[in-house]
Amino acid sequence: MSNTRLSFEQLQNSDRFQDRHIGPDSKEQQAMLELLGLDSLQALIDKVVPESIRRQDVMAIDEGLTEQQSLRALKAMASRNRLLKSCIGMGYYNTFTPPTIQRNILENPAWYTAYTPYQAEISQGRMEAMLNFQTMVAELSGLQLANASMLDEATACAEAMTLCQRMSKSKGKIFFVADDCHPQNIDVVKTRAETLDIRIVTGNPLTDLNDLDIFGVLLQYPGSTGEIRDYRALCELAHEKKALVAVAADLLSLTLLTPPGEFGADVAVGNTQRFGVPLGYGGPHAAYMATRDEYKRSMPGRLIGLSIDSHGNPAYRLALQTREQHIRREKATSNICTAQALLAVMASMYAVYHGPAGLKKIAQRVQLSTAILAHGLELSGFSVLTQNYFDTITLDVSGEAEQYINRAVASGYNLRKLNADQISIALDETISTQDIEILWQVFAGDDCGLSVAELENEVNPQIPEALQRSSVYLTHPVFNTHHSETELMRYMRHLADKDLALDRAMIPLGSCTMKLNAVAELMPVSWPEFGGMHPYAPLDQAQGYAQLIEELEQLLCAATGYDAVSLQPNSGAQGEYAGLLAIRAYHESRNEGHRDVCLIPASAHGTNPASAQMAGMKVVVVSTDQHGNISLPDLKARLEKHGDQLSAIMITYPSTHGVFEASVVEVCELVHQYGGQVYIDGANMNAMVGICSPGKFGGDVSHLNLHKTFAIPHGGGGPGVGPIGVVEHLKPFLPGYSVFKNGPQHVGPVSGAPWGSAGVLPISWAYIKMMGREGLIQATQVAILNANYLAHRLKAYFPVLYSDPNGMVAHECILDLRPIKEQTGISVDDIAKRLIDYGFHAPTMSFPVPGTLMIEPTESESKQEIDRFCDAMIAIKKEIDSVQSGVMDKTDNPLKNAPHTVDAVTADEWGHSYSRSLAAYPVASLRAAKYWSPVGRVDNVYGDKNLVCSCPAISEYETA
């Protein structure tokens, strides 16, 4: 320890955040560099990152803040948000997040640091919660099958439209959208329709449908301004025309109303935000989609299903994966990948906590408060235009809307102005007696003298007989047992304990960047100043958010070299789609709208071709050479052939093969020569921040995954944020805003909320500000160091599939397991599942190359943890060798039987040809700390053959 005297100032800022975020300290870094034969991080970068793309300018980001400084700065920003009570509605409502759910789910790393449950065995807890979500949605909507989850209600409406088109037998090209849908739903549907040659007609579905050649209809239930209508006859009419009916429905209202599935709808979508998820200025929230059993294979997004494990016990898994972009690419049902898992879990727990009776009471409370409010206003001479309502009424204020809106704001309430004559008021579970009385005063004057206590008995809120719900819902025990906080706390703990998340061990998933999500980054998300803001609150009330958004946009521009950023897309895949829309609109603006070919390397992530298809482009595949790089001869041939039609190329950099391709500049130049635009998939940005800038070495547009590079946690499959950065000439073509018309004008919105999942943006802001320029650069360097160290340690045991001419990889590496499969019959799956016995989450399986594992350690993992992982992989290789040499049986070995459960290892019968201790404790350290897989290997085939996607009856657990 040095004795140099530090100044008070130095001592105050001595706790550098970067030293907390970056795993290996300088001694560990030195040791790793030495193994690679290098003497500094700079030497490493010089060796790995091609000179031609290296950043020449200084990244315009300040030196890092301490955690306390960052929290203070964010608090100051938060306090610039003026939090009024918003009664705006439009799919977003105030809600009480049960504190136990806030603390035990939203703020619990066991839930928020988990990954998408591709590894079924270590994801049983979160999959149970998500199955609860599916059950809740399916039963409340009256349809058979629901997914978990959609990005927001508006995109869910757009997905419902394409589902209707795929499934309807009508040849019509028209999708009819009821004019009382939420405006953002209409806007996003229109954006989506434009590139798919679908014509949108809006109007009154009860009168305007007759002569149209439609394939589908979208309704809002209850309508945006509050009216509840009976759509039975309409559904029949639509079905006569062979069209399908999609309904955007408010889940809470469905506890009282006839659900869409019972009045004839084919698809239901909606937001589940009001089930205990904070508003967050528009997101993240889980939206839902439910449909009929017969359309299940056309359902977008993740679906949790029940299967059995190797012991015949019930176990959850992701069902019907063959629908998804990983497999079907441009033929996928949708490009949705990262969704809103954490928020779906929260919403499901809200239902578990309240139960069917509790939810119904909440709905009754909301409805009664609305009826009382309406009655008082009518007594005061206002005419309430809404005849049948649940939580929203519309008033006629003849020309004085502006004046009442302003009076309401002065009293602390935001109402929705429909036009100069009409105002809508939407109530929610947080509305108190006092709120209602103040709202009366806003309209009827301070001395109107109305009192809830007096008026309450005069109202009798009624839903028309034909629309009253008679069917039961949420009868499963899970919704009827955990109502005390003790029970719910233990239930949530019980589920979390089954899972393996970043709070237990490194998650070395290639292409996913499972880095630290520091608590100092996350804490502000729970602050009411950020959490309580309605997405359509007047902009002058959201000045804190405006500052946050503007600063984050600038920081991301600095980090990527782009000139402008849109934070609207809710996921990486949505960013791809938005980026391609920008390219398309750019070509159109230059009278080159015929350009519609999108070149995509064979190794691209499945969302790339899926997004291209959604953006109305034709996918042409470019092959890669034996080193995994884009084949220049093939690229040139494609450019020759499609040059006139060329719209864009989508490349990933560093490539999905985990290598910095030296030819990237040439690739970009070639594409530009042929008039194409370059889309650089920024999923691998973690290898570039501060060292090279996609916006400067040839990219025209990129998405970033803030849930990878910029520290937003994965949440078990979302939330994500997929902002796009663009160079100057594409700036006018960023997505427009719904509701606020002050955004860019050429492309429609891609999400309902203007700034997408704004509620989690403080995380990325804090990450960048606390790391600072130097910290960010070092993070990139160490991410590359960790990957190369790991590749170096493992290459003697498993061949590293691709590396650059110096034998180096970027921030991840691919291990080729195909030779092992050929020689021993041990598969990728066997190795992945055996890693669970060693306490690890498997690396990415078979992407981008089947039969491989892709490993990305990230900068946050220490040498010690990486060594522990390497030791496990090496021990597994020795097991494989024993199989090969015949010491272990070819089929009865610890790899084929992995993972081993406590049950299996402690059973009185142990029929295996290897020992129990080898099964459970292959390395000694596991005796001190052991993660036990709660189930044996999950049977994929059984699950899809016997599809069950809602909570099974208890008897099912017993007999399976």
Partner 1 sequence: MMKSLVITLNGDDRSGIVESLSKIIVQHQGEWVESRMANLSGKFAGILLAKLPEENCDTFKATLKASLQDLNITIESADSSKAQNQQQCYKLNLVGQDRPGIIHRISSLLVKNGATVEDLESEVIDASMSGEQLFKANITLCLAEGYTIEALGEALEQLANELIVDIELG
Ligand X SMILES: Cc1ncc(COP(=O)(O)O)c(C=O)c1O
Q: Contact positions toward ligand X, by CB under 6 A?
A: 337-338, 511-512, 571-573, 605, 607, 652, 656, 681, 683, 705, 720, 722
C-alpha closest to that of 376 among 463, 438, 462, 464: 438
Identify which of residues 643 and 851 has a Cβ nearer to partner 1 in the complex: 851
Rounded distance, CA 576 to CA 680, Å?
9
Identify which of residues 195 and 321 has a Cβ nearer to partner 1 in the complex: 321
Neighbours of 468 (CB within 10 A): 11
CB of 242 to partner 1, least distance (A): 14
> Is 242 one of the binding residues for partner 1 (CB under 8 A)?
no
CB of 829 to partner 1, least distance (A): 5
Identify which of residues 708 and 900 has a Cβ nearer to ligand X in the complex: 708
Number of residues that bind partner 1 (CB under 8 A): 29
> Is 321 one of the binding residues for partner 1 (CB under 8 A)?
yes
- Is there a cis peptide before residue 222, judged by omega within 30 degrees of 0? yes
Element (H, E) at 112: helix 109-112
CB of 170 to partner 1, least distance (A): 14
850 binds, among partner 1, ligand X, none (CB under 5 to 8 A by kind): partner 1
934 binds, among ligand X, partner 1, none (CB under 5 to 8 A by kind): none
Binding partner 1 (rule: CB under 8 A), the pick from 405, 832, 835, 870 is: 832
CB of 607 to ligand X, least distance (A): 4
Please, are residues 722 and 574 in contact by the beta-carbon 8 Å criterion? Answer: yes
DSSP string over 434-480: HHHHHHHHHHH-TT----HHHHGGG------GGGB--S----STHHH
Rounded distance, CA 70 to CA 774, Å?
16
CB of 795 to ligand X, least distance (A): 23
**What are the φ/ψ torsions at residue 588 (nearest 5 degrees)?**
-60, -40
102 binds, among ligand X, partner 1, none (CB under 5 to 8 A by kind): none
Beta strands in 272-323 (DSSP E): 287-291, 304-308, 314-318
318 binds, among partner 1, ligand X, none (CB under 5 to 8 A by kind): partner 1
CB of 684 to partner 1, least distance (A): 16
Classify residue 183 as exposed, middle or buried by CB count within 10 Å of its CB (0-12, 13-18, 19+). Answer: middle
Draw the binding track, 590-609, toward partner 1 (x: CB under 8 A; -: no contact): ----------------x---
Identify which of residues 409 and 615 has a Cβ nearer to ligand X in the complex: 615
Interior angle at CA 702, CA 628 and CA 771, nearest 5: 100
C-alpha closest to that of 709 among 885, 839, 575: 575
CB of 318 to partner 1, least distance (A): 6
Please, are residues 724 and 579 in contact by the beta-carbon 8 Å criterion? Answer: yes
- The number of CA neighbours under 13 Å toward the Cβ of 655 is 27
CB of 582 to ligand X, least distance (A): 17
Q: Which residue is nearest to ligand X (CB)?
A: 572
Identify which of residues 416 and 937 has a Cβ nearer to partner 1 in the complex: 937
CB of 764 to partner 1, least distance (A): 25
Which of positions 722-751 make contact with partner 1 (CB under 8 A)?
Answer: none
Neighbours of 417 (CB within 10 A): 18
CB of 783 to partner 1, least distance (A): 21
Binding partner 1 (rule: CB under 8 A), the pick from 827, 893, 933, 950 is: 827
Binding partner 1 (rule: CB under 8 A), the pick from 212, 862, 944, 960 is: 944
Which residues sit opposite 245 in a β-bridge?
217
- Torsion sign, CA atoms 844, 848, 853, 854: negative
844 binds, among ligand X, partner 1, none (CB under 5 to 8 A by kind): partner 1
CB of 232 to partner 1, least distance (A): 29
CB of 605 to partner 1, least distance (A): 9
> Is 166 one of the binding residues for partner 1 (CB under 8 A)?
no
171 binds, among partner 1, ligand X, none (CB under 5 to 8 A by kind): none
> Is 707 one of the binding residues for partner 1 (CB under 8 A)?
no
Identify which of residues 47 and 818 has a Cβ nearer to partner 1 in the complex: 818
Amino acid at residue number 669 = E
Binding partner 1 (rule: CB under 8 A), the pick from 43, 327, 357, 420 is: 327
Interior angle at CA 647, CA 642 and CA 651, nearest 5: 95
Neighbours of 322 (CB within 10 A): 11
Draw the binding track, 281-320, toward partner 1 (x: CB under 8 A; -: no contact): ---------------xx--------------------x-x
Binding partner 1 (rule: CB under 8 A), the pick from 847, 869, 921, 931 is: 847
Rounded distance, CA 28 to CA 31, Å?
5
> Is 322 one of the binding residues for partner 1 (CB under 8 A)?
yes
Candidates 634-642, 673-681, 721-729, 841-849: pick the segment binding partner 1 (CB under 8 A). 841-849
571 binds, among partner 1, ligand X, none (CB under 5 to 8 A by kind): ligand X
> Is 845 one of the binding residues for partner 1 (CB under 8 A)?
yes
C-alpha closest to that of 686 among 653, 715, 719: 653
DSSP annotation of 106 reads: I
Q: Any residues with CB less than 8 A from the CB of 700 and at least 6 apart, and which?
A: 583, 677, 678, 679, 726, 727, 729, 730
Binding partner 1 (rule: CB under 8 A), the pick from 396, 563, 940, 952 is: 940
CB of 148 to partner 1, least distance (A): 16
Binding partner 1 (rule: CB under 8 A), the pick from 75, 103, 328, 672 is: 328
Amino acid at residue number 414 = N
Identify which of residues 155 and 258 has a Cβ nearer to ligand X in the complex: 155
**What are the φ/ψ torsions at residue 9 (nearest 5 degrees)?**
-60, -45
Amino acid at residue number 460 = N
Please, are residues 304 and 166 in contact by the beta-carbon 8 Å criterion? Answer: no
Identify which of residues 760 and 828 has a Cβ nearer to partner 1 in the complex: 828
Please, are residues 772 and 61 in contact by the beta-carbon 8 Å criterion? Answer: yes
> Which three-class secondary structure string do you get for 219-263?
EEECCCCCECCCCHHHHHHHHHCCCEEEEEECCHHHHCECCHHHH
Identify which of residues 339 and 771 has a Cβ nearer to ligand X in the complex: 339
Identify which of residues 323 and 534 has a Cβ nearer to partner 1 in the complex: 323
> Is 543 one of the binding residues for partner 1 (CB under 8 A)?
no
Binding partner 1 (rule: CB under 8 A), the pick from 945, 955, 958, 959 is: 945
Please, are residues 653 and 661 in contact by the beta-carbon 8 Å criterion? Answer: yes
Binding partner 1 (rule: CB under 8 A), the pick from 335, 709, 757, 844 is: 844
CB of 705 to ligand X, least distance (A): 5
> Is 385 one of the binding residues for partner 1 (CB under 8 A)?
no
CB of 831 to partner 1, least distance (A): 10
Helix axes 26-35 and 863-885, enclosed angle (nearest 10):
40
Draw the binding track, 103-122, toward partner 1 (x: CB under 8 A; -: no contact): ---------------x----
Give the CA diameter of the chain.
92
Amino acid at residue number 849 = V
845 binds, among partner 1, ligand X, none (CB under 5 to 8 A by kind): partner 1
Which residue has tokens 């089947």? 850
Q: Any residues with CB less than 8 A from the CB of 361 and at least 6 apart, and which?
A: 354
Residues that bind partner 1 (CB under 8 A): 118, 296-297, 318, 320-323, 326-328, 331, 606, 827-829, 832, 844-848, 850-851, 940-941, 944-945, 947
